[in-house]
Amino acid sequence: MDGKVKKQKQHQQKHSGPKAEKKKLKKQNGSTEEDERKRNPKAFAVQSAVRMAKTFHRAQDIKTKKHHVPVVDRTPLEPPPIVIVVVGPPKVGKSTLIRCLIKNFTRQKLTDICGPVTIVSGKKRRLTFMECNNDINSMIDLAKVADLVLMLIDASFGFEMETFEFLNICQVHGFPRIMGVLTHLDAFKNNKTLRKTKKNLKHRFWTEVYQGAKLFYLSGMVYGEYQNQEVKNLGRFISVMKFRPLVWQTSHPYILADRIEDLTDPERLRTDPKCDRTVSLYGYLRGTHLKNKGQVHIPGVGDFQMSDANFLPDPCPLPGTQKKRALNEKERLLYAPMAGVGGVVYDKDAVYIDLPANHVKQLQEEVRPTTELVQSLIETHVTLDAKMAASKVSLFSGSAGLDPTDISEQSGVQEGLREIHVWDAHTQTQRRKVVFTGLEEEEDDVSGSSSDEDDDGSDQENQEEEDDLSTFLKEVRDKSEKATKGSTPPVKKRKLEEMKGEEEVIAEAPAFADSEDELERGEADSEGEGEAERAGDSGHCSKESEEDSDDEEDGDEDDESMEEEIGADDSDEEEEQGTFKWKEGLQQKASAAFLRHQEAAPNLRKLVYGSVVEAEDSEEEEEELGGLFRVNRPQKSKKVQADALDCSHFNPDISHNWELEEMLNSIRDCFVTGQWEEGQDAATLLKEDEELYGDFEDLETGKVHKGTTGEQDQAEKSESDEDETDDEDQQVKMDDEEVQKNKRLEKKRRLKERFDTEYDDGDATYFDDLKEEMQKQAELNRAEFEDMDDESRVQYEGFRPGMYVRLEISSLPCEFVTNFDPHYPVIIGGLGTSEGNVGYLQMRLKKHRWYERILKTRDPLILSLGWRRFQTIPLYHIEDHNGRHRLLKYTPQHMHCGASIWGPITPQGTGFLAVQSVSGVKANFRIAATGVVLDLDKSVTIVKKLKLIGYPYKIFQNTCFIKGMFNTVLEVAKFEGASIRTVSGVRGQIKKALSTPPGAFRATFEDRLLMSDIVFLRSWYPVSIPQLYNPVTSLLLPVGQKDSWSGMRTVGQLKHDLGVRNKPSIDSLYKPITRAPRHFNPLHIPKELQKALPFKSKPKLLQPKGKVPRDLKRASVIREPHERKVAELLRALSTVHHYKKKVAQRAHHAKHKEFLQQKEKDEEAKMKRMKDARKKLYRIMGQKDQKKQRSSLKGTPQDD
Amino acid sequence: MASHGLTYEGCNFLRQRLVLSALSGKRVKIKNIRSKDDEPGLRDFEANFIRLLDKLTNGSTIEINQTGTVLVYQPGLLYGGTVEHDCNPQRSIGYYLEALLMLGPFMKSPLKATLRGVTNDLTDPTVDLLKSTALPVMKKFGIDGEGFDIKVVKRGMAPGGGGEVVFTCPVRKTVRPVQLTDPGKIKRIRGVAYSVRVSPQMGNRIVESARGILNQFLPDIYIYTDHMKGANSGKSPGFGLTLVAETLNGYFLSAEMLSTPQGQGDPILPEDLGRNCAKLLLEEIYRGGCVDSSNQSLALLLMTLGQQDVSKVLLGPLSPYTIEFLRHIRDFFQIMFKIEVQKPLEDERKGGDKVLMTCVGVGYSNISKTLK
């Protein structure tokens, strides 16, 4: 159009007036659906019931589809660091990204990324970064442990095969969170192509992961690093990400080892460098609880028995609970021992610390106590709460030592002796310090003051810190003193009573705990690390036995002697005290927990699980005499027990006499007729009901009824007021008030419960109930062992996820150590019960649609199943309609089939993937097949078809003698009654063997056989699965060749490698088909039959026409010349006549046509005339009518 | 790569070891079986038990040395299905059934076991007792459903036997964790007084005397008399009583008493038997807990095999058998129980000490079951 386009008037927003007000109102109230519904009810009315039902169903379907099966939330309170695996093809920027992220979180630069790097990223989150190199082994292993995958894609190149391979691996082993990161975006010069590429890549990524999966764009490098803002954003995304638990990960414990130490005896190494190694592996425990001494699998190495496990203080702890927004500098920890960075790294007898420059000062103070603490932990298995220890150490480091009053208070609660295992730095030995706690408090004070002085003397370096520390200590002290004064005496009294009762029960309590413990300790130490677990056990028992000694109540004398001992040990204490200062903070918690422990007599535990001492005693029982004879002692009680009657009956205690009234009374309350607890008593319940519904006003009389409890409460209150005046009964009063308070709380709770049940639970669905149940279970799981110390907690539930653990594995192959490469992940995967066994597995398998070949039965295949990677020989089969598993030679092209292997027992429902080789890099897609384990069975039921062929050699009517199918009479006997068939489909049965020739038999058929027939017997032959289980030991290969593992070769590969070419069997070769023409004999119908047949079916036997006899033949006429002329003339005349006739007819035809036309014209004219006439007539008639009407109207008067 | 085995000595607790071995898949070796005895080696009933285990499993290997003093058991897969077994009359069917109860839920296909032999004898818990106490315990763990039953087809008393019991059990993939901490009060007492090949009056006499004692506590008592005749009465005469106390929360405590087998020891009067049995029940109630003393190990096993959640159960004092069972659980599954003794309060009249057992399950799942 023309150049000057008329500019549209811009929209003017109203700022005043009714429209603006309306808008403002709308903004304020928000657009509410309710409003619309009210305003326009018709629009929301039900139009069609069917439609409404449909929409409702659809809505419900969508809602229900969103539900996941609720699972118990088993995540620990302090979760392990999140494993972030950075994958991608080479040269895509993986290391750079990790470096940038680490720098972003910790402000530290890490030059070489090798092995896992753990950092603290926030108040509640730690991250472990792991780079995945371009090796399918690493990809498989890391996909199993990853929580989050950062998938790097070179945008300038596009997707590479590795990316898709990794995605497929993830799909099989449970899909972790995946975030794509596009790099090399600066390679695009044209903005439009950039945008297009981004979009294309994004959509392809979405189809692989899920619609809307997050894809990050790193737009370019600045000085060899990604842009700060982009990295920061990525970091933010990572630190708020949520994860859905994956089945395999949550049901198995696993560790991504971040540190490895070889503990093998150097002397042995010197003599035999190839000997099996004892190795300790360190890492955060993830997944689920790990049981000590369990079986583990290290992918790439093999299965091993854990020889020992213990937990260590967290090298990368989360910051404390201070309320603040960001982490301060010293809380931004970094731990990567394989990269040689961070934290403390210890040897057997020395500690190496690698520190960044800015941390030096603060860490120096920390180092000593930490290491000592750690060392003592490793060696001694002292009970301690590692987390607390770690958090407190920094606070108390080297400060005014242990406050003796605290310890005495603590032990005052415990009443008796306590031992504390202390690491003596000078002698490098383990010492058990006995802390005495007298019954009198004065003693405590004395000893407390003395040690106070000691502390002051010893710790002069740390004066600066003392100020705030002392105030803190004071608070702690005050609190604890209060606690002891308030609560201890009644407890003590009760305990004593209990003990009296127990004394009889505890017969096996040792006389004095100390000596025995000393002995135990000595033994435990000498036994070395193999026995470490047991030593831990003994630590427990010793504590119990101390309590026993207390029970005996000969405490006073012993106590005094102990005092002296302590005096002697004082010099040692000076150093030692520093080490257990960290325990002070634990006091309240520990004392509370301990109190509870003691109340439940722990001797039952000892009775059940025993102690080291007992076990050893029994071993020593048999002693040899002169090395030849054995002393046969009368069998001791244990021996007798070993061969006793195996019976679960628990014979009653004879001491109870159920004739006595008091015995009967002792169980009276077990019956509904007995007395009920106060809360559940019928009377109280009634009263409560009255309270609830009791207040009512009688409307008729106007009388107000009131519940009675109020008054009662008051009465009780006044009573308690009176009590208050009595100083003596203060205790009682306190208790009373407590009771009242509890009662009120209880009542409140019950009322609330009742209210809830009445009003809330009305529309709770099954799903809600289930969820609530799971929630409750999760709470219980958390609460049950919460306030136990870690050492005993570990014994009950195993090591819990989130702990930093150290596993010791003996007999690892030496190549693991010598060929160790930190770039490859070392994963320690725990195995469940019976997952260590090997057996037959049935699986469902499908060839991957991107793998270009089909798989052949009995070709070795490398599977990744559970934690393991192994080579095995699968047999493929398919299920027939009758449930038979028929062997297949090859996998179907686009269909699932069954596969049976000999391999490690893995729970059903576990996914697996198969590759044909793990060595090298190939251009093609490497994942050959995927599937799932269906069944574990010790027997295999795969069969293949076998056809036995025989030939008839004598034919009677329907009976036949057949040879060549079997070789002996016995074989035939086995198949008597089997059905057989000929090629032409005649069915028959094997009857009986014939004596000669061997293997021949008599058979009957439904029809007579021909000698040319072939008889066959269709049978099914069971196939056995080759027992090949060959773990992929890729981690044992030399550095640099780890991706070149090759196992058993397929027959095809072998032939190719060896250049073998099989001569095909002559019979299998293709030859030109020559078919001899077949002659059929004519059909012969007997004469008799022919006669009987109806005419229709009778063969139409037409005799070939013979010669007609001469007499039957007609004579031919020969004309005379005259006759001929006449005939000629007649013919000419008739021709002329014909012509004339034809012409005449044509003329007549034309004439008639003309006539018809004329006639039509006339007719038309006639019609027209008649029409006109009729028209005229009707008009006249109409006029007449009108006239008549008019005249009639005129005549009549108009009344209406 | 076969998993390491465990080694034990002596024939005691043979069933526990074999059952736990079958469940955990760990090989077990038992040495010195009655090695110092005049007749060394396994007894007939033990061999019979091993044979039953072999019938139930698929692919297990059992090696016994010449004298029968060493047994090596490599467990196979629990197969289940329909099994018929003639139990040795030296021990009652209860001996075999206790093991079947532990294995039943973890088979490949639902178990239907027909056991023939002695249904009631003095040493082992009788079939009636297991029926009335073990099944409710298992139901608490989610092992329930159609065809979960013990049926006494024929009753056979001690020396002769001739009884028949059908045990059917459905298959479960997992066992759910339980919190059985509050037993509740006993609301009713039921029982069965059975007699075979003696006067039918015996039953009534037992009932009378037992009621005499129990009526002091509770009015709601009903004891059925079960007199079996003809082909269903086995080969030996005898009579006995099983008493079951049910609490408000659905827990069962039981006691039982039998007549002495024919030709062994002094005969016992039915009145005495009734009284003694009632006293035994009182003793059981005195011990208390949510599971009665003969099923403690069953409950603990199911707790161990539960999900990785905390399970709790309140028991009476632990029987020696249970204590050994706990040790075995630690050996096979590395599970330790937290054992807390609950003392009764001063003025409480609810019997003796209770034991609260707490553990975290191993997260066991039935690996025999086929996935479809």
Cα separation of B303 and B180, whole Å? 11
Closest chain B residue to the Cα of A304, Cα to Cα: B1
The partner residue sitting opposite B37, judged by closest CB among A643, A665, A667, is A643
Average pLDDT, chain A: 76
Kindly tell me if the per-residue pLDDT of A406 is higher than 80: no
User: Token pair 């001469």 is at which residue?
Assistant: A1110
Q: Could you tell me how far CA B170 lies from the centroid of its own chain?
A: 18
pLDDT band at A463 (very low <50, low <70, confident <90, very high): very low
Arithmetic mean of pLDDT, A940-965: 93
Asked if B142 has any chain A CB less than 8 Å from its own CB, the reply is no
Q: Would the CB atoms of A905 and B25 count as touching at under 8 Å? A: yes
Contact state of A670 with B350 under an 8 Å Cβ cutoff: yes
Task: Say how far apart CA B239 and CA B189 lie, in whole Å.
Answer: 20
Q: What is the pLDDT of residues A484-508, one digit of tens each?
A: 444 333 434 444 444 444 444 333 3
- pLDDT of A1029 reads 95
In angstroms, the Cα distances linking B358 to A191, B20, B340, B362 are 66, 19, 8, 13
* pLDDT of A358 higher than 80: no
Quote the CA–CA distance of A928 and A914 in Å, as a whole number: 5
Higher local confidence (pLDDT), A511 or A905: A905
Residue A389 has a pLDDT of 44
Between the alpha carbon of residue A1083 and those of residues A268, A984, A1007, the distances in Å are 98, 22, 21
Shortest CB distance from B11 goes to which of A251, A646, A934?
A: A646
B216 vs A: CB within 8 A: yes
Would the pLDDT of B116 be above 70?
Answer: yes
Cβ contacts of B343 on chain A, cutoff 8 Å: 498
The percentage of chain A sitting over the pLDDT mark of 90, rounded to a whole number, equals 38
Determine the Cα–Cα distance for residues B303 and B298; give it in Å rounded to an integer: 9
Residues in chain B with CB shorter than 8 Å from the CB of A643 are 10-12, 33-34, 36-37
Which of B13, B307, B355 has the CB atom closest to A604's CB atom? B355
Write down the pLDDT at residue A1132. Answer: 96
The residue of chain B nearest to residue A781, with distances taken between CA atoms, is B310
Q: Is the peptide bond before A489 cis (omega within 30 degrees of 0)?
A: no
Q: Which amino acid is at A305?
A: Q
Chain A nearest-CA distance from B122, in A, is 10
Better-predicted residue by pLDDT, B369 or B167:
B167
Contact B181, B312 (CB under 8 A): yes
Which residues from chain A sit within 8 angstroms of residue B369, using beta carbons?
Answer: 908
Would you state the pLDDT for residue A698?
Answer: 54
Q: Scan residues 51-110 of B and list those with Cβ closer than 8 Å to A.
A: 58-59, 76-77, 95, 98, 108
The topology (CATH level 3) of B186-286 is Dihydrodipicolinate Reductase; domain 2 (3.30.360)
- Per-residue pLDDT at B216: 87
Q: Is there a contact between A670 and B186 if contact means CB atoms under 8 Å apart?
A: yes
Least confidently predicted of A27-36, A75-84, A529-538: A529-538
Give the mean pLDDT of A673-697.
Answer: 67
In this predicted complex, what is the ipTM?
0.90
Q: Which of A830, A1025, A871, A840 is nearest to A934 (CA)?
A: A840
pLDDT at A787 over 50: yes
Closest by Cβ to A939, choosing from B58, B177, B307: B58
For residue B318, the chain A residues in CB contact (below 8 A) are 604, 608
Give the chain A residue whose CA is nearest to the CA of B336. Answer: A796
Res B82: pLDDT:
94
Span A67-103, pLDDT tens digits: 888 888 888 888 999 999 999 998 899 999 999 999 9
Determine whether the interchain pair A907/B367 forms a contact, defined as Cβ–Cβ distance below 8 Å.
yes
Of the candidates A682, A463, A407, A632, the one whose C-alpha atom is nearest the C-alpha of residue B248 is A682
Nearest to A305 among B4, B282, B338 (CB): B4
Residue A1148 CB neighbour total at 10 angstroms: 10
End-to-end CA distance of chain A: 71
Query: Domain segments of chain B: what residues?
Result: 1-78, 186-286, 291-360
In terms of C-beta density within 10 A (0-12 exposed, 13-18 middle, 19 or more buried), how is residue A1135 classed?
Answer: exposed
Q: How far is B217 from chain A (nearest CA, A)?
A: 7
Helices (H), A668-765: 682-694, 709-725, 730-759
Average pLDDT of B110-130? 92
**Chain A residue nearest residue B330, CA to CA:** A609
For A855-890, give one letter per residue: b (16+ CB within 10 A) or e.
bbbbbbbbbbbbbbbbbbbbbbbbeeeeeebbbbee
Least confident of A264-268, A832-836, B106-110, B153-157: A832-836
pLDDT of residue A1021: 93
Please give the residue that has the higher pLDDT: either A1115 or B217.
B217
- Residue B82's H or E segment, with its range, is strand B80-86
Q: How far apart are CA A1077 and CA A560, in angstroms?
A: 123
Rounded average pLDDT over B166-187: 91
Count contacts between A and B (CB, < 8 Å). Answer: 229
Chain-chain contact of B334 with A293 (C-beta, under 8 angstroms): yes
What does the pLDDT read at residue A820? 92
CATH topology of domain B1-78: Translation Initiation Factor IF3 (3.30.110)
Chain A residues within 8 A of B242 when measuring between CB atoms: none
C-beta atoms of B370 and A74 within 8 A: no
In this structure, are residues A844 and A932 in contact, taking their beta carbons and an 8 Å threshold?
yes
Residue A827 pLDDT: 95
pLDDT level of residue A664 (50, 70, 90 thresholds): confident
Contact assessment for residue A1032 and residue A1020, using Cβ atoms and an 8 Å cutoff? no
Cα separations (Å) of A645 from A61, A290, B96, B124, B230? 61, 36, 14, 10, 33
**For A533-554, what is the mean pLDDT?**
40
* Residue A813 to chain B, least CA–CA distance (Å): 15
Domains of chain A, first to last: 82-352+795-811 (3.40.50.300), 833-942+1039-1058 (2.40.30.10), 944-1022 (2.40.10.190)
Q: Is B98:B80 a contact under the CB 8 Å cutoff?
A: no
Identify which of A480, A471, A425 has the alpha carbon closest to the alpha carbon of residue A448.
Answer: A480
Give the predicted TM-score (pTM) of the model.
Answer: 0.70
Q: How confident is the model at residue A580 (pLDDT cuts 50, 70, 90)?
A: very low
Encode pLDDT of A207-225 as tens digits: 989 888 999 999 888 888 8
What pLDDT, on the 0 to 100 scale, is given for residue A467? Answer: 45
C-alpha closest to that of A393 among A578, A219, A237, A242:
A578
B360 and A797 within 8 Å at the Cβ level: the answer is yes
Determine, for residues B15 and A646 on separate chains, whether the beta-carbon distance falls below 8 Å. yes
Of B216, B359, B369, the CB nearest to A664: B216
Q: What is the 3-state secondary structure (H, E, C) of B238-249?
A: EEEEEEEEEECC
Contact B282 A658 (CB under 8 A): yes
Q: Could you read off the pLDDT of B29-57 as tens digits, one per residue?
A: 998 888 888 888 889 999 999 999 999 99
Structural contact between residues B242 and B128, judged by C-beta atoms closer than 8 angstroms: yes
Percent pLDDT > 70 in chain A is 68
Write down the pLDDT at residue A848: 95
Looking at CA atoms only, how far is residue B230 from chain A in angstroms?
31
- What are A579's two structure tokens? 């080490």
pLDDT digits (tens, 9 = 90+) for B251-302: 999 999 999 888 888 888 999 999 999 999 998 898 888 998 889 999 999 9
